């Protein structure tokens, strides 16, 4: 079994003195920023997938069969 070193222990919500730790900083426009970063990558990924599917159909590597 692998043990973690003592310097990487979780301190929790309390300081050594027993007081609460400070509140974490809240990022302004956090949701908007994450959407601004994520949406272009989702869009580019969908364009690459669509182009790949078109190439597969064009060269008859994969063609969906009608049942």
Instruction: Examine the pLDDT at 2 and tell me if it is beyond 60.
Output: no
The pLDDT confidence band at residue 24, using thresholds 50, 70 and 90, is: confident
Domain assignment present for residue 35? The answer is yes
Q: What is the mean pLDDT of residues 28-41?
A: 95
Query: What's the whole-number average pLDDT of the chain?
Result: 84
Res 10: pLDDT: 60
Q: What is the mean pLDDT of residues 25-53?
A: 95
Q: Are 14 and 20 in contact (CB under 8 A)?
A: yes
Domain assignment present for residue 53? The answer is yes
Note down the domain range covering 41.
28-62
Q: Above pLDDT 90, what percent of the chain?
A: 45
* Domains of the chain: total: 1
The pLDDT confidence band at residue 7, using thresholds 50, 70 and 90, is: low
């Amino acid at each position: 079994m692998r043990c973690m070193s003592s310097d990487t222990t979780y301190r929790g919500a309390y300081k050594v003195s027993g007081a609460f730790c400070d509140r974490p900083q809240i990022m302004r426009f956090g949701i908007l920023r994450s959407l601004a970063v994520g949406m272009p990558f989702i869009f580019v990924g969908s364009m690459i997938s669509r182009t790949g599917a078109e190439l597969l159909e064009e060269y008859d590597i994969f063609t969906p069969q009608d049942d």
